Amino acid sequence: MDDREAAFQALYGPWQALTPGQVGTLLAGAPFRWWIGGGWALELGESARRDHEDIDIVVLLAELDAVRAQLAAFHLWEAHDGSLKPLLPGERLTPEREQLWVRRNAMEPWIADVVLAPSDGGRWLFKTDHRITLPLDELGVTRDGVPFLKPEVALLHKALLSRAKDESDVAAALPNLGQPARAWLDDALATYLPEHPWRERLAR
């Protein structure tokens, strides 16, 4: 944990993230689509190559009401631009917010980060550039009963951030990424970030 993250947790509280299997238990029977994203989507299972300080649960923004009902026993906080704001029952989501942190109450740690993804007509839309899209049925892959984002989709989000852990993740993921996945990711980067340095690595 770097100094910035330590200061953030000192202000808002620590993390004790669920594992993918625990998320599966939490959301069993949920009436909405969901996928594990972030670094866990590159692991595709319970065995982690590196420590994961959080876990991303990707849901559709259009299904937020159902998500809130499923998580009614938990507190949800809007996470935006380095700050948090409680999303109280009955309140509307602040416009242009796309992440919700989840914890049982103020005495308990954060357990998950819910990422709200745009969609349209049965298709997922990349949050920053809606020209990049996939049918919802092609967005994920299921392992041990748990749905994960496809690795190339998770890497597209990481390309935008390019943190140290994202560079480590792409280095570990690329050798196992098949040609169709490499081509999709390269096309997506060509659309959105044509000068991104990962494109040269994808071509190898």
Note the pLDDT tens digit of each residue in 144-154. Answer: 999 999 999 99
98, 179: one domain: no
How would residue 29 be classed by pLDDT, with cut points 50, 70 and 90? Answer: very high
For residues 179 and 10, which has the higher predicted lDDT (pLDDT)? 179
Side-chain-facing half-sphere of 158: CA atoms under 13 Å: 28
Tell me: the pLDDT tens digits for 150-198? 999 999 998 887 788 888 888 888 888 999 999 999 999 999 999 999 9
Specify the number of domains making up the chain: 2
170, 71: one domain: no
30, 49: one domain: yes
56, 96: one domain: yes
Distance CA 58, CA 116 (A): 6
For residues 8 and 121, which has the higher predicted lDDT (pLDDT)? 121
Largest CA distance in the chain: 51
Q: Residue 45: what pLDDT?
A: 61
81, 177: one domain: no
Q: Looking at the domain assignment, is residue 125 inside a domain?
A: no
Mean pLDDT (the chain, rounded): 92
Domain of residue 170 covers 150-204
Q: Looking at the domain assignment, is residue 178 inside a domain?
A: yes
80, 115: one domain: yes
Tell me: the pLDDT tens digits for 88-112? 999 999 999 999 999 999 999 999 9
Average pLDDT over residues 18-27: 96
77, 93: one domain: yes
Q: Looking at the domain assignment, is residue 128 inside a domain?
A: no
Q: Looking at the domain assignment, is residue 181 inside a domain?
A: yes
140, 165: one domain: no
Backbone angles phi, psi at 149, to 5 degrees: -60, 145
70, 55: one domain: yes
Exposed, middle or buried, 184 (CB in 10 Å: 0-12/13-18/19+)? Answer: buried
41, 78: one domain: yes
Tell me: the pLDDT tens digits for 35-87? 999 989 988 766 566 677 899 999 999 999 999 999 999 999 999 988 899 99
Look at the block and give the residue holding tokens 């390269």. Answer: 186
